Amino acid sequence: MTGSPRRTLVTTALALLAAMAPLTPSAVAAPRAPAAAAAPAALDLSTSRAQWIDKNTVAWDVQGDAVSQELVYARDGQLTVKDGELAGEGRRIRLTPADGGLTDAQREKYPHLKNYAAFTVDPRDRDRVRHALTGQLVATRSGADGSLVSATGVQTQGVLDDLYSATATKAALGPQFRDGRPTLALWAPTAQSVSLELDGKRVAMRRDDASGVWSVAGARSWSGKQYRYVVKVWAPSVQKVVTNKVTDPYSTALTADSKRSIAVDLDDPKLAPKGWERLKKPKATPLRDAQIQELHIRDFSVEDRTARHPGKYLAFTDTASDGMKHLRKLAEAGTSYVHLLPAFDIGTIPERAADQATPDCDLTAPAPDSDEQQACVTKSAAKDAYNWGYDPLHYTVPEGSYASDPAGTRRTVEFRQMVQGLNGSGLRTVMDVVYNHTVASGQADKSVLDKIVPGYYQRLLPDGSVATSTCCANTAPENAMMGKLVVDSLVTWAREYKVDGFRFDLMGHHPKANILAVRNALDALTLKKDGVDGKKIVLYGEGWNFGEIADDARFVQATQKNMAGTGIATFSDRGRDAARGGGPFDEDPGVQGFASGLFTDPNASKANGMPAEQKARLLRYQDLLKVALTGNLSAYTFTDSSGRRVKGSEVDYNGAPAGYAAAPGDALSYADAHDNESLYDALAFKLPADTTAAERSRMQVLAMATATLAQGPSLSQAGSDLLRSKSLDRNSYDSGDWFNALHWNCQDGNGFGRGLPPAADNKDKWPYGKPLLTSASLTPGCAEINGTSAAYQDLVKLRATEPAFSLATADEVQSRLSFPLSGTSAETPGVITMELGNLVVIFNATPESQKQSVTALKDMAYALHPTQAKGSDPVVKSSSYEGGSGTFSVPARSVAVFERG
């Protein structure tokens, strides 16, 4: 409700009486005159519908008149609703309706509360605010007859920030070492007590009232010791005061399975592998030029028979393994970064090998289209060694299951050795980070943050429940100390582990301000002071817009459109969907796109529509791809396939602008990533069933080229250049090694035909997939696998060596990049012709050779680019140019790059 409740003489009189009432502990409940009972939902202390947004203001979504409002607090949490009245011993803080409701500044800070009523803390009671926050809090409203109208718990994130964040955000938290002596510090402003559990004893900790930080200084002997905090605090999730024994959210080392934190100085020379201080990194590649391989640590080596450390960090030090040889080839071609799926402490993998389950059946025995493999894998999935890792438990400690010993600091040393191994192979390292949610919240076993400051680190919905739009318990980086944790953690990874970049999972769930704070903190790191050049660290993330914060409902989000111009890239789904066809969640996976045969090579799916519909949709896809090839620039103007002159922002993508970027580098192109079907599997569903293995290989290269040859950075899932398949699994996050492992040796196949994928996320697609899994044309041999990789490497080399693919500004792209046949009678469905400086790039996705005549280029000297002319693909070498007519000829299912002499 906007504005304040209507004031009456009765209200004023009762307020005066309340002001005269004693505020010493007393029974809150008192005999009331008979009155109509309040609705049960209005008297529910298990919810928290009132929000204390600063030390003087409570916002509450209430309607109707009441004559008194107050906060009631009880340190021991004995407040209950009994027979429609508040019962128990508590103390009161009087509230006065605020004329006009929330102020403009408050509405700007809390836009989702803009229509809430506002109540001001009585000046006489403001000295009780800090104490009130350490126990149970209830907001009440009473009617003219004294009966209880509303009673609810209170969200306190805002008031905690108002009281403590100015000082607390400057505090050094977690284990801090000076001259070998540790100080341990924990932010816990609502805790009634905090102590340190170390060596089986409890050590008292001191509270700083200005910051809410509890700390204790230790002796040198504490180094390497295991510890936990013992936190006594009111927990709204269980409606009682609890004493939690909890690990340090700022842990830098852990015991196996994260049972205890370990006091470790990451600057200890014993934790530095040989050569760490003198680590020479490959030359930094600007984000707009980044060519990225997305890689899961276990997938990389677990089935590589040439690796000495399968499934571990140290596999990246096995220089003679097939996997490392392949990565070096990619680096030599121009790949600049390896993006590691989450490698921090994961909450869903048993870290000791002895505790990890394995499938108890022969997975090689059943037929390629059997459901037996997935049933066996699923049976052990919850306790096996596999998970993608989007289940953060501790944000700033390497995952233990990838280390040779999960107990202690081997994980620290070996993570650093992994970085060394990648850097030594010519590749910089990006970490996939997941600060938008936790694996658990409340009093759950694997809850950490919410056991220390309940209701603060997690984002709460209007009723006080934890938001789960990210699939798990959302965090709230808009709150100062969660935002600080994000920044502090990333600075640690950059400085102590020499990580070269970060990819943010669901970055749109972060405030833009938080991500910019990360950028500023990293920029402040220098080689002289910190051993790393923070300005060269790249940042990108998923700028999706959904959930309780969608459309900037609570803050300006780090979404695609909002991050434009910041130098921090967002994944662009525009080109992905246009190349593949349809979307990731289509009921029928046979919906085709530019690189999967729409109109030019139709499959049997009725979802594609009649030929005229297919042609029209294909031309729209070509417009989306043209925008994607510019780097998704919003202001780029071109003639679309209908002949209209449009900006990138005026091309429609499912109701949103296709172009949203301000400069090359704002948008990251990709044709596939770890989630959704791999590119090979998507094409398996979409290409006609009789498409040969060789033709599938060519379409794979063409689809990857739409991302590789676009302006700005591009990402490819590791193994896609080897036709990697997950046997049609669209969500392999917990599908084990059987469906996920990479196969570097072509004789081991590409992973296709390993049985029907796990039922939980794929059963509705089984009728489409079962006939495919036994198809000979979908089982590529070494010629197709190796040929695809070689052709892809040629394109990466082209991308890395031709400056025209690395234009720095939107103006340069506008002046040097064009689509000369777009919107004319000469535009061919299934073919995109792009002029780029002295290059002409032709994407021919059709099953026939095509001629593209560009009269403006007549009599100029063009020839197939030397990289392709001397390259690995014998088919594309047949491409030609006839200068008299300006006609380029390109074979079927090919991308050809021509260079002007």
447-492 pLDDT per residue, tens = 999 999 999 999 999 999 999 999 999 999 999 999 999 999 999 9
Q: Are 73 and 241 in contact (CB under 8 A)?
A: no
Per-residue pLDDT, 751? 98
Confidence of residue 33 (pLDDT cuts 50, 70, 90): very low
Please confirm, yes or no, whether 85 is among the known catalytic residues: no
Instruction: Kindly tell me the burial class for residue 283, based on how many C-beta atoms sit within 10 Å of its own C-beta (0-12, 13-18, 19 or more).
Output: exposed
Confidence of residue 63 (pLDDT cuts 50, 70, 90): confident
Strands 68-74 and 89-97: antiparallel
Over residues 602-623, the mean pLDDT reads: 98
Per-residue pLDDT, 42? 87
DSSP 99-114: TTSS-HHHHHH-GGGT
Strands 89-97 and 50-54: unpaired
CA quadruple 314, 318, 322, 323: dihedral positive or negative?
Answer: positive
Q: Are 536 and 590 in contact (CB under 8 A)?
A: no
Strands 839-844 and 831-836: antiparallel
Confidence of residue 40 (pLDDT cuts 50, 70, 90): low
Is residue 23 scored above 60 in pLDDT?
no
Alpha-carbon distances of 685 from 264, 596, 779, 892, rounded to whole Å: 51, 9, 14, 20
Q: Scan for tokens 């700022």, then name that residue.
A: 250
Over residues 63-68, the mean pLDDT reads: 82
Q: Which one of the listed residues 542, 666, 695, 721 is annotated catalytic?
A: 542
Reported as a single tens digit per residue, the pLDDT across 143-200 is 988 899 999 999 999 999 999 999 999 999 999 999 999 999 999 999 999 999 998 8
Q: Are 633 and 811 in contact (CB under 8 A)?
A: no
Per-residue pLDDT, 146? 87
Strands 226-235 and 240-246: antiparallel
Q: Scan for tokens 């025209």, then name that residue.
A: 804
Burial 741-775 (b: 16+ CB within 10 A, else e): bbbbbbeebbbbbbbbbbeeebeebbebbeebbeb
Is residue 15 scored above 80 in pLDDT?
no
Choose among 585, 593, 588, 597: nearest CA to 628.
593
The torsion region of residue 461 among left (phi > 0), alpha (psi -120 to 50) and beta comes to beta
Q: List all residues 6 or more positions away from 635 whose beta carbon is below 8 Å from its beta carbon.
A: 647, 648, 649, 659, 662, 810, 814
State the Cα–Cα distance between residues 143 and 247, nearest whole angstrom.
Answer: 46
Is residue 64 scored above 80 in pLDDT?
no
Q: Are 626 and 822 in contact (CB under 8 A)?
A: yes
Q: What is the DSSP letter of 296?
A: -
Alpha-carbon distances of 339 from 283, 285, 316, 628, 631, rounded to whole Å: 17, 14, 13, 22, 20
Is residue 790 scored above 90 in pLDDT?
yes
DSSP 556-587: -B--HHHHTTTT-EEE-HHHHHHHH-S-TT-S
Reported as a single tens digit per residue, the pLDDT across 548-596 is 999 999 999 999 999 999 999 999 999 999 999 999 899 999 999 999 9
Q: Scan for tokens 């903190």, then name that residue.
A: 521
| Residue type at 850 in one-letter notation | Q
Q: How many CB atoms lie within 10 A of CB 731?
A: 18
Which phi and psi (to 5°) does residue 221 adopt?
A: -65, -15
Q: What SS3 class is residue 623?
A: helix
Q: Are 122 and 113 in contact (CB under 8 A)?
A: no
The vertex-489 CA angle with 317 and 451, nearest 5°, equals 120
Is residue 35 scored above 70 in pLDDT?
no
State the Cα–Cα distance between residues 287 and 501, nearest whole angstrom.
Answer: 10
Q: What SS3 class is residue 165?
A: helix
Which phi and psi (to 5°) does residue 426 adopt?
A: 90, 15
Strands 501-504 and 428-433: parallel
Per-residue pLDDT, 65? 75
Over residues 27-50, the mean pLDDT reads: 65
Per-residue pLDDT, 39? 65
Q: Which one of the listed residues 505, 577, 666, 737 is annotated catalytic?
A: 505
Over residues 397-415, the mean pLDDT reads: 98
Burial 268-281 (b: 16+ CB within 10 A, else e): eeebbbeebeebeb
Give me 232's structure tokens: 């006594």
Give me 470's structure tokens: 């990210």
Per-residue pLDDT, 327? 98
Choose among 169, 166, 180: nearest CA to 225.
180
Is residue 510 scored above 60 in pLDDT?
yes
Q: Are 292 and 384 in contact (CB under 8 A)?
A: no
State the Cα–Cα distance between residues 795 and 806, nearest whole angstrom.
Answer: 14
Q: Tell me the pLDDT of the chain averaged across its residues.
A: 95
Q: Are 264 and 705 in contact (CB under 8 A)?
A: no
DSSP 130-154: HHHTTSEEEEEEE-TTS-EEEEEEE
Reported as a single tens digit per residue, the pLDDT across 613-649 is 999 999 999 999 999 999 999 999 999 999 999 999 9
Give me 677's structure tokens: 């079907």
The torsion region of residue 580 among left (phi > 0), alpha (psi -120 to 50) and beta comes to alpha
Is residue 729 scored above 90 in pLDDT?
yes
| Residue type at 503 in one-letter notation | R
State the Cα–Cα distance between residues 501 and 338, nearest whole angstrom.
Answer: 10
Instruction: Kindly tell me the burial class for residue 479, based on how many C-beta atoms sit within 10 Å of its own C-beta (0-12, 13-18, 19 or more).
Output: buried
Over residues 486-504, the mean pLDDT reads: 98
State the Cα–Cα distance between residues 836 and 71, nearest whole angstrom.
Answer: 66
Reported as a single tens digit per residue, the pLDDT across 808-817 is 999 999 999 9
| Residue type at 678 in one-letter notation | S
Is residue 701 scored above 50 in pLDDT?
yes
The torsion region of residue 295 among left (phi > 0), alpha (psi -120 to 50) and beta comes to beta
Confidence of residue 67 (pLDDT cuts 50, 70, 90): confident
State the Cα–Cα distance between residues 658 and 634, nearest whole angstrom.
Answer: 8
* pTM score: 0.95
Over residues 857-881, the mean pLDDT reads: 98
Per-residue pLDDT, 4? 30
Q: What SS3 class is residue 380?
A: helix
**Strand order across the beta sheet in which 181-187 lies:** 174-178, 181-187, 213-217, 206-208
State the Cα–Cα distance between residues 460 and 15, nearest whole angstrom.
Answer: 32
Q: List all residues 6 or more positions away from 560 whose beta carbon is below 8 Å from its beta carbon.
A: 508, 543, 544, 545, 570, 572, 660, 667
Which phi and psi (to 5°) does residue 461 adopt?
A: -85, 175
Strands 645-647 and 637-639: antiparallel
Q: Scan for tokens 């490959």, then name that residue.
A: 282
Strands 569-571 and 538-541: parallel
- The residues facing 291 across adjacent strands are 714
Note the maximum CA span of the chain.
101
The torsion region of residue 45 among left (phi > 0), alpha (psi -120 to 50) and beta comes to alpha
Q: List all residues 6 or more positions away from 792 whose beta carbon is below 8 Å from its beta carbon.
A: 701, 704, 708, 716, 721
Per-residue pLDDT, 1? 32
Q: Are 864 and 847 in contact (CB under 8 A)?
A: no
Confidence of residue 8 (pLDDT cuts 50, 70, 90): very low
Over residues 204-227, the mean pLDDT reads: 98
State the Cα–Cα distance between residues 254 and 225, nearest whole angstrom.
Answer: 10
Q: List all residues 6 or more positions away from 447 whose beta carbon is below 8 Å from its beta carbon.
A: 438, 440, 441, 473
Please confirm, yes or no, whether 414 is among the known catalytic residues: no
Q: Scan for tokens 């380029």, then name that residue.
A: 888
Q: Are 540 and 571 in contact (CB under 8 A)?
A: yes
Over residues 303-307, the mean pLDDT reads: 98
Give me 791's structure tokens: 């052709």
The vertex-578 CA angle with 574 and 582, nearest 5°, equals 100
